[in-house]
Structure 1
Amino acid sequence: MSRAVIYETFGGPEVLELREVPEPHAGPGEVRVRVAAAGLNPMDWILASRPEAAEQFGITVPSGFGYDFAGVVDEVGDGATGFAVGDRVYGGALGRAVADFVVVKTPTSASEALFHTPDGIGDEVASTLPVAGLTAAAALAAIDLRSGDTVLIGGAAGGVGVFAVQLAKLAGATVLGTASEGTFEFLRQFGVEPVAYGPGLADRVRALAPDGVTAATDLYGTETAETALALGVPPERISTIAAGPNPPGGVCATGGFDAGPDAVERITDAILAGKLTVPIAATFPIEKIRDAVTLQSGRHVHGKIVVTL
């Protein structure tokens, strides 16, 4: 037997249960990963709490929980290629990541991902990369961010935001980031000019960037996108990740699945070079999954939350 976090009904953290389940094994064309860490994302608790969101991703109850994981390959099925027993890996498995073992097809399917973990990157950091790192890369690629831009990033202190602001700085942009005032010092360590979200955002941005904003990405809802439109930023230079398929004003909706093929390597190279840091706000053992998700769903975390196994 092995352990997995399961929920049988949709709801808040209270529906999550750590259960003993039959140990899965790698079949033909599959590898099994012994999971060491699982990074949490807002989409995890959204899928567990909102049936309409889960339906869009083909998730039905009972279901496992989480997407991002990191660990070591410990079984390789017949015909599986690219990975060997003992390889350190990280990736994603929709609705299955917070468990002792994850079985993934090779090559991966649309709802899965698997990458080799570079030497020098630990499992906890690796487990934060698939959703947040790739989503940040896609959000900036969608607006063709380049050196000399002044970019407004909404939700800058969140799990995706901490990647987006650093990638934007590496691209040579000046970065303004919306956040609560309690996170301002946290953001300044990344070279970000923080600005409080809420009513009057456009006026505050004008004061901070009198020469104007040239691009924007909204990582939380629509406030930043709507503000950018009001400031005269062209819709094609504004992206959103959480505004649904029809964002305001014809701006670009995107997500991690749109990230370019080199995005993962660019992010891990930047981490290894010391140019990008992954702030881990808290770690919880798998037995404390409800506490971890309660903290995550409060949306006031500076950085990433990781569950350890």
Structure 2
Amino acid sequence: MPKAYVFTRNGGPEVEALIEVDRPVPGAGQVLVAVRAAGVNPVDWKLRTGFRRPGDGERVFPAFLGSEVSGVVEEAGEGVEDFAAGDEVFGQPVVGGYSEYALLTTGFSAHKPAAVSFTDAATLPVAAATAYDGVHQLGLPAGATLLVTGAGGGVGVAAVQIARALGLRVVGVASEAKKDLIESLGAVHVPSGADWTRRVPVAVDGVYDLVGGAVLTEAATLLTDRTGLVTAGAPPEVARELGGARVARVRTPARLAEVAGLVVDGSLDPHVTQTFPLDRAGEALRAVEEGHARGKIVIVPTENAG
């Protein structure tokens, strides 16, 4: 039977488990994918702790981990015309993720360009697409300065590169250990930690926050116009209280294709720095949960790793 990495109840790492599951069956508008790679994101461990996203239904346990995958279509469900068995695809799973097989909806899946690896493609539906959506939502003109908090993580690394490709100057806030990474992307590095705003060397026109909490509140003080504040690290009501907005996600195949195009033309390197087999998915998630990840971490199910 196929294997999947799941959580059996809400809680900490102790509720995670690698189990055998039935192979999913695609419904109308869905495709079954043999997973080649699955991106690891902070939302994964947050969901395990009991975090609920708007629109989430009642959680059924065991619950699957993993919010973005790439792979090869095994079977298409009723009404699917754009995808067929053998197609290489990437998208956001409805069932699966850290697993050997996943179900994707055709509404938020796209064909993987041949020039994009499976591991890179698995970072695009959540991390890179969130970065793309936020930077474009701000709509800053070329030459403006964007500050990105949490710049050393998967979304942050993508946001810095996307902003740079649009002609923006970028200030990246991250730990001292990620200084070389941030500077290699063409951004000015500001070390995170106490009083970090005092270390920002220039005035900023926009803020893309990926951390939330006190960091978001502090970042907002750098702006004279709070409409230049977008966050993926805090709820909408918190963003509104500060005069900004939550990033508005665009979940369409066309948006995924646009983001993949940036990888193809060299504007975006997802910076996959570590890969883990499925039986070490817990280690991959710990690296993200504890804030040690530089760039993106990806799980590569052994059986489908070809």
TM-score of the aligned structures, taking structure 2 as reference length: 0.91
Match of 1:137 among 132, 137, 140: 132
Letter in 1 for 2:247: T
Distance in 1 between residues matched to 2:95 and 2:161, nearest whole Å: 29
Letter in 1 for 2:52: A
Aligned residues: 298
* Contact 1:153/1:224 (<8 A) preserved: no
Distance in 1 between residues matched to 2:137 and 2:29, nearest whole Å: 34
* Contact 1:136/1:160 (<8 A) preserved: yes
* Contact 2:93/2:105 (<8 A) preserved: no
Q: What is the CA distance between 1:61 and its match in structure 2?
A: 2.6
* Contact 1:121/1:272 (<8 A) preserved: yes
Partner-residue secondary structure (3-state), 2:138: coil
The answer for unaligned runs of 5 or more in structure 2 is: 302-306
Instruction: Provide Cα deviations, 1:108-135, integer angstroms capped at 9, x if missing partner.
Output: 3xxxx21110011111110011101111
Distance in 1 between residues matched to 2:194 and 2:263, nearest whole Å: 36
Instruction: Provide Cα deviations, 1:213-249, integer angstroms capped at 9, x if missing partner.
Output: 1111111114454334323331111111111121242
Distance in 1 between residues matched to 2:280 and 2:187, nearest whole Å: 33
* Contact 2:153/2:295 (<8 A) preserved: yes
- Tell me which moved more, 88-97 or 178-187: 88-97
1:234 correspondence with 2:220: no
* Contact 1:72/1:86 (<8 A) preserved: yes
Partner-residue secondary structure (3-state), 2:268: coil
Match of 1:176 among 145, 161, 171: 171
Change (3 A) 1:237 1:262: farther
Report the aligned-residue RMSD. 2.0
Letter in 1 for 2:204: V
Distance in 2 between residues matched to 1:164 and 1:264, nearest whole Å: 15
Distance in 1 between residues matched to 2:45 and 2:94, nearest whole Å: 12
Aligned partner of 2:304 in structure 1 is none
Instruction: Give the 5 Å matches for 1:78-157.
Output: 78-94=78-94, 96-106=96-106, 108=107, 113-157=108-152
Work out the percentage of aligned pairs sharing the same amino acid: 33
- Tell me which moved more, 116-125 or 246-255: 246-255
Distance in 2 between residues matched to 1:276 and 1:141, nearest whole Å: 15
Distance in 1 between residues matched to 2:77 and 2:60, nearest whole Å: 27
Distance in 2 between residues matched to 1:43 and 1:260, nearest whole Å: 20
* Contact 2:94/2:102 (<8 A) preserved: no
1:267 correspondence with 2:243: no
Aligned partner of 1:167 in structure 2 is 162
Letter in 1 for 2:110: F
* Contact 2:67/2:97 (<8 A) preserved: yes
1:191 correspondence with 2:186: yes
Instruction: Provide Cα deviations, 1:28-59, integer angstroms capped at 9, x if missing partner.
Output: 4432111111111000010012x243686323
